[in-house]
């Protein structure tokens, strides 16, 4: 499988690139995981703007999907750690986010992660930490008490 070169393609979340990625990997959104793939760069940029990110900020992203929001976060933040529960998306993310050396993807359910331990091992203490996500609806109805200690 040949690599998609960043300069040859529009941003991940553009409608044409999103469709090309979904077709290439034979993917569709899994309703059971609340997946959706945003294809409006204006919305993604507003999410990043609302997070008020600086190049000093570290970010935890919940559910990077194919990397549309992740790409925008990587451009704005110091480091991005994405938690993706769907194993099928890992090769997609490895390819789409390859140009960004400040992104790491963890194949784990954020609700089951030991976040204090992960934050301590993955991020330097002198950088602010923010959580940014295009959350699936089902996760908003889950008890998240103690998610970050």
Closest CA to 37 of 22, 52, 53: 22
Q: What is the pTM of this model?
A: 0.83
pLDDT in tens, 55-76: 999 999 999 999 999 999 999 9
pLDDT in tens, 3-34: 444 445 689 999 899 889 989 999 877 766 56
pLDDT at 3: 46
pLDDT band with cut points at 50, 70 and 90 for residue 147: very low
pLDDT at 4: 46
Q: Yes or no: say if 25 and 31 are a contact pair by the CB < 8 Å rule.
A: no
- Is residue 101 over pLDDT 90? yes
Per the structure block, which two tokens stand in for 122? 């993955």
Size of the chain in residues: 149
- Determine if residue 71 is labeled as part of a ligand binding site: no
- Determine if residue 145 is labeled as part of a ligand binding site: no
The fourth-level CATH superfamily of domain 10-134 is Vaccinia Virus protein VP39 (3.40.50.150)
Burial of residue 21, with CB atoms counted within 10 A of its CB: 0-12 exposed, 13-18 middle, 19 or more buried: buried
- Determine if residue 104 is labeled as part of a ligand binding site: no
- Determine if residue 88 is labeled as part of a ligand binding site: no
pLDDT band with cut points at 50, 70 and 90 for residue 1: very low
Locate the domains of the chain by residue range: 10-134
- Mean pLDDT over all residues of the chain? 84
Cα–Cα distance list, 26 to 10, 19, 57, 63 (Å): 20, 10, 34, 19
- Mean pLDDT value across residues 78-95: 95
- Determine if residue 101 is labeled as part of a ligand binding site: no
- Determine if residue 84 is labeled as part of a ligand binding site: yes
- Is residue 130 over pLDDT 70? yes
pLDDT at 138: 55
């Amino acid at each position: 499988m040949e690599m998609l070169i960043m300069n040859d393609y529009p941003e991940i979340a553009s409608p044409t690139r999103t469709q090309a990625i979904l077709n290439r990997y034979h993917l569709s959104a899994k309703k059971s995981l609340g997946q959706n793939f945003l294809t409006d760069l204006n919305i993604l940029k507003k999410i990043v703007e609302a997070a008020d990110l600086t190049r000093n900020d570290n970010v935890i992203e919940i559910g990077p999907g194919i990397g549309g929001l992740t790409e925008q976060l990587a451009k704005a933040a110091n480091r991005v750690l994405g938690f993706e529960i769907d194993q099928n998306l890992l090769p997609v993310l490895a390819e789409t986010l390859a140009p960004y050396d400040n992104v790491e993807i963890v194949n784990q359910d954020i609700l089951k992660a030991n976040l204090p331990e992960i934050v301590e091992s993955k991020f330097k203490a002198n950088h602010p930490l923010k959580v940014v996500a295009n959350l699936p609806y089902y996760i908003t109805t889950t008890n998240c008490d103690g998610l970050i200690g």
